[in-house]
């Protein structure tokens, strides 16, 4: 569906779609060309389960696929931005900084900050499943929507201009990426630990438990509604464990 405020006379189109286009404009700073991508991005998997016979899903357009695409795009954009902003910093610093912007907790914060959460509540939360970082997932899908609709230049303009630069000072003070820190610790100590993750719950309300094991010792256990969340919590627990216990 094309945006009525972008291509067609307002008098010929539905008021709700006009309102939706203007809401997108307030978030992005520019109008969309085709709103179907944004409607899809702002729907949760549970909402798709309730309307799984829709034409867009049958054609392979769904917000979980868009999350995958958006995750890659924002990671790339943030990496380039940090590389240019900090020309003298090493790989470890840049990796840690990037992780602070792209992790679920950060994306959840950005979703609320730019006003995306208000659009989610209008379009999807009636069908929301139990996911502690559903807002962060939607940010990734929304970025993919911009890319599919307006291309990479507009997409990077939104990521840098709306997400990163206005919130930079706040984001760098977020919690570190515990998994990256734990992996760096293992590399420094020349050891290898095993991550064991088990999934429970339902398809649309999954729960994960990750256990980190080293030489029959449990270093840390983490629970979460995504695998990444359980990994982060397990690594945080493992880092606390290794501070108190020497690993040989």
| H helix runs in the chain, sequence order | 15-28, 36-41, 45-50, 55-58, 63-85, 91-102, 104-113, 116-123, 134-150, 152-158, 168-171, 178-189, 227-244
Check: CB of residue 167 under 8 Å from CB of residue 225. Answer: no
In the DSSP assignment, the letter for residue 175 is: P
C-alpha gyration radius of the chain: 20
State the catalytic residues: 71, 140
At 244, give phi and psi (nearest 5°).
Answer: -95, -15
């Amino acid at each position: 569906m094309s945006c009525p405020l972008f291509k067609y006379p307002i008098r010929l189109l539905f008021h709700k779609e006009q309102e939706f286009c203007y809401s997108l404009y307030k978030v992005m700073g520019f109008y969309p060309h085709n709103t179907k991508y944004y409607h899809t991005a702002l729907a949760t998997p549970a909402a798709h389960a309730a309307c799984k016979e829709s034409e867009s899903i049958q054609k392979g357009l769904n917000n979980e696929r868009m999350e995958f695409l958006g995750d890659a795009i924002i990671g790339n954009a943030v990496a380039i931005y940090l590389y240019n902003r900090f020309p003298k910093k090493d790989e470890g610093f840049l990796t840690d900084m990037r992780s602070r912007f792209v992790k679920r907790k950060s994306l959840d914060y950005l979703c609320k900050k730019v006003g995306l959460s208000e659009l989610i509540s209008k379009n999807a939360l009636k069908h929301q499943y139990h996911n502690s970082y559903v807002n962060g997932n939607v940010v990734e899908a929304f970025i993919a929507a911009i890319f599919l609709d307006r291309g990479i230049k507009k997409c990077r303009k939104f990521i840098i201009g709306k997400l990163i630069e206005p919130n930079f000072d706040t984001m760098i003070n977020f919690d570190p990426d515990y998994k990256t820190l734990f992996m760096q610790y293992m590399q420094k100590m020349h050891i290898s630990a095993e991550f064991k993750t088990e999934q429970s719950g339902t398809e649309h309300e999954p729960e994960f438990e990750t256990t980190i094991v080293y030489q029959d010792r449990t270093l840390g256990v983490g629970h979460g509604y995504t695998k990444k969340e359980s990994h982060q919590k397990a690594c945080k627990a493992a880092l606390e464990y290794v501070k108190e216990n020497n690993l040989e």
